Amino acid sequence: MTYLAGEMMTGGYGGADILHECSIGVDRGEIAVVVGPNGAGKSTAMKAVFGMLGLRTGRVTLDGEDITSLKPQERVLQGMGFVPQNQNVFTTMTVEENLEMGAFIRRDDISLTMKQVYALFPVLHEKRRQPAGELSGGQRQQVAVGRALMTQPQVLMLDEPTAGVSPIVMDELFDRIIEVAKTGIAVLMVEQNARQALEIADRGFVLVQGRNAYTDSGVALLANPEVRKAFLGG
């Protein structure tokens, strides 16, 4: 039983269906990566799993329970965290305020979690009094991930966390994400940098036009000649 699973999801934004019986999922302590060409529906699949999209058919389960009808806020309460692809920080608020807002639903002491986030991303501690809008792309992504970690989620969903950052910063971010997964959190992420992402992935999903094209372990997908040829540039 996969910890978080979107099963046979079909749906879209009100018009034509974007997703067609699409399934993605991840287990605790694992990293699952969703790759595919632009417009394949990767972000849409993530939104569907997070309840930001009405599904016509299919369901989403968390730890065996059907959560298909829960609103996004209710999924946050169930231990899910989401870093959207765009506009994923509060630009006018300081780094520290971003983290505080991430922990908004918590009523207990958040200082320990904040320390952990700062330990994971030391540069954020340095810049904690700066508005997030003034940070570099890589630092912003760290704020975005840090914000989602503040609820102490069981599942962390990331939509292209390395978009627009340099290769060095990308490696750095991947290392941090591996660290997060090692603490037992399930990490489900969409990545443009398919090769690097599949290298750290326990599972990989290749989506094409809203359908599952290939599903396998990261290593197997990397070794699959068809996948290599079509999606990894040979």
Give the footprint of another protein on residues 150-209 (CB under 8 A).
151
Q: Residue 18's binding partner, choosing from ligand ADP, Mg ion, another protein, none, with beta-carbon cut-off 5 to 8 A by kind?
A: ligand ADP
Residues 16-75 that bind another protein (CB under 8 A): 72-73
Of residues 61 and 85, the one with the C-beta less far from Mg ion: 85
**Judged by CB under 5 A, how many residues of this single chain contact Mg ion?**
2
What is the edge-to-edge ordering of all strands in the sheet holding 203-208? 80-83, 155-159, 186-190, 31-35, 203-208, 211-216
Count Cβ neighbours within 10 Å for each residue of 58-85 and write b for 16 or more, e otherwise: bebbbbeeebbebeeeebbeebbbbbbb
| Per CB under 6 A, 139 contacts ligand ADP | no
Task: State the alpha helices, DSSP H only, in the chain.
Answer: 42-50, 72-77, 95-102, 111-120, 122-126, 137-149, 167-182, 194-199, 218-223, 225-231
Q: Of all helices (H) and strands (E), which one includes residue 27?
A: none
**Structure token digits, residue 195:** 């090769």
- DSSP structural state of residue 133: G
Q: Is 56 exposed, middle or buried (0-12, 13-18, 19+ CB in 10 A)?
A: exposed
2/88 with CB nearer another protein: 88
The two structure tokens encoding residue 115: 């320390």
Q: Exactly one of 43, 94, 113, 141 binds Mg ion (CB under 5 A); which one?
A: 43
- Number of residues counted as binding another protein (CB under 8 A): 21
Give which of 127, 130, 179 is closest to 156, Cα–Cα. 179
Site membership for ligand ADP, residue 201 (CB under 6 A): no
Residue 41 binding result from another protein, ligand ADP, Mg ion, none, given CB thresholds of 5 to 8 Å by partner type:
ligand ADP
Q: Partners of 80 in the beta sheet? A: 155
From candidates 13, 39, 65, 101, binder to another protein by CB under 8 A: 101
Q: How far is the CB of 188 from ligand ADP (least distance, A)?
A: 14
Among 1, 15, 64, 87, binds another protein (CB under 8 A): 87
Between 86 and 111, whose beta carbon lies closer to ligand ADP?
Answer: 86
Alpha-carbon span 202 to 224, nearest angstrom: 15
Q: Tell me the per-residue interface mask from 31 to 60 with ligand ADP, x by CB under 6 A, - otherwise.
A: -----x-xxxxxxx----------------
Binding site for another protein (CB under 8 A): 72-73, 76-77, 82, 84, 87-93, 97, 100-102, 104-105, 147, 151
Chain positions contacting Mg ion, by CB under 5 A: 43, 85
The residues binding ligand ADP (CB under 6 A) are 13, 18, 36, 38-44
